[in-house]
Amino acid sequence: MTKYIIKRLIGMIPTLFIIVTLSFFIVRIAPGGPFDGERALPEAVKRNIEAKYHMDEPLIVQYGRYMFDVIRGDLGPSYKYKDYDVNTLIGVSLPNSVVLGSMAMAVALLFGISLGVLAAVRQNTLLDYIPMSLAALGLSIPLFVFAPFLQQVFCMTLGWFPTTGWFMNDAPVRTAVLPVIALSFAYYADIARLTRSSMVETLRSDYIRTARAKGMKNSTIIFKHAMKGAMLPVVSYLGPAFAGILTGSIVVEQVFLVPGLGKFFVQSSFNRDYTLIVGVVIVYSVILIVMNFIVDIVYAYLDPRISYK
């Protein structure tokens, strides 16, 4: 097991390397630079600024320098927010995004798995139809429709929740409710559908028949015998789900004005704030890769047939 983990850890390096390289070059190759607008500046000053940010060096040297900095954990200064460095900007906003994302994931998993199992066990009853129609809705309503809709109904019309604010910045905790619901809905839908179908499939399998022939109770069969196998597709879905929640949080943060990383990301793309873009992408990728890694480990733990070699 340890060997497997180490191997997977080493395997993460090329992915990270590719991400950093790709985003670095995409951003640099693109026309237009962060200081191009300041033409009014005297040539000398401009050169000074560029020298300060090492932009006068050849691209490959800049790349090497940047790589070296990233390995040390320094994402460099922001080109646009002049007095901040990327680490500070990300450090301020990342916790909000991480909390939002993990709460959404937790909610999606909790409801998705429990309702999915329920639907599978009580097939073709109301307990099946209601969660599954909800899931069908979740699958078809895009986040950017659902989030404004929630805001319109629960903030504007009913007035149950404040329209803006975020509970980590001295606002009441209920400000978190709508963003979390909005973000988790689509993933609830996927997880519930996946859980249901794989549970139904598992319950039909031969080894469940064996368990029934042994005289086991239904609940024991479901939770002890079927759960592990049925959870495998759900676990392998979690990797893409994390990626989706990362991108989804951009919309949610915009609609509910959560001071998270997503807003920064879109803004820095418009501003061509190179270091900030690459920094945000690296942070997102690290989160994603770590999550994929955890998912793989959990999968290997659940399925004894996976060899660790």
Partner 1 sequence: MNKFNNANVLLEVKDLRTYFKTDNGILKAVDGVSFTVHEGETVGLVGESGCGKSVTNLSIMRLVPSPPGKIVGGEVIYKGTDIMTLSEKELRNIRGNKISMIFQDPMTSLNPYLRISTQMIETIRLHQDVTKQEARAKAIRMLQLVGIPSAESRIDCYPHQFSGGMRQRVMIAMALSCNADLLIADEPTTALDVTIQAQILELIKKISQEMGTAVILITHDLGVVAGMCDKVCVMYAGRVVESANTDDLYENPMHPYTKGLIASVPKMDGSREERLFSIEGQPPNVIDLPPCCPFHPRCNRTCEVCTHAYPPVKKTGDDHYVACWLHCSEEEREEALKAARKGEN
Partner 2 sequence: MAIFRKKEIATNEFDQVIVGTSLTKEAWKRLKKNKLAVVGGVIVIIYALVALCADLLPLYPYDQAVTSHRNLRPSLTKTAGELMMEQEMKNLFFQAWRGGRLELSDEEDAQIETWIQQSKTNNVWDLVYARGMQAIEEGTFEWNSSEQRRIDNLLEDIETETLITINSVSAPVDGEMVSIEDMDYDTILSLYAQLIGADIELVSQSMYNEVSAAVTNELRANDSSLTGEDLTAAVEMEMDAMGETAFQNRAVQNIIGYIEQIAQRSASSDINSLITSGQAQLPYRGTFDLSNGLHVELEVSRVHERRYICGTDYLGRDLLSRIIYGSQISIAIGLVGTITSIFIGILVGALAGYLGGKVDYYLMRFVDIMYGLPYMLLVIICMAIFGRNIINLFFALALVSWLTIARMVRGQIMSLKNQEYVEAARSMGGSTMHIIFRHMIPNSLSIIIVYSTIRIPAFIMQESFLSFLGLGVQAPYASWGSLIGDAVSSMALYPYKLIIPSIIMVIFLFSMNFLGDGLRDAFDPQSKNQL
Give the footprint of partner 1 on this chain (CB under 8 A).
204-207, 209-217, 220, 224-225, 228-229, 302-305
Please identify, among the stretches 84-92, 104-112, 145-153, 211-219, the one whose residues bind partner 2 according to the rule CB under 8 A: 145-153
Q: Give, as ranges, the residues between 87 and 126 that touch partner 2 (CB under 8 A).
A: none
Say if CB 305 and CB 289 are below 8 A apart: no
Say if CB 77 and CB 53 are below 8 A apart: yes
Computed over its alpha carbons, how large is the radius of gyration of the chain?
Answer: 24
Nearer to partner 1, 99 or 302 (CB): 302
Nearer to partner 2, 8 or 216 (CB): 8
Q: Which residues, including other chains, have CB under 8 Å from residue 172's CB and lie 6 or more apart? A: 162, 165
For residue 108, give both structure tokens. 């999606």
Whole-angstrom CA distances from 227 to 63, 199, 203 are: 48, 7, 10
Nearer to partner 2, 147 or 181 (CB): 147
At closest approach, how far in Å is the CB of 122 from partner 2?
18
Partners of residue 214 on adjacent β-strands: none
Partners of residue 77 on adjacent β-strands: 85
Residues that bind partner 2 (CB under 8 A): 12, 14-15, 18-19, 22-23, 26-27, 30-33, 35-39, 80, 136-137, 139-145, 148-149, 151-152, 156, 159, 190, 193-194, 197-198, 200-201, 233, 237, 239, 243, 246-247, 250-251, 254-255, 265-267, 269-272, 277, 280-281, 284-285, 288-289, 292
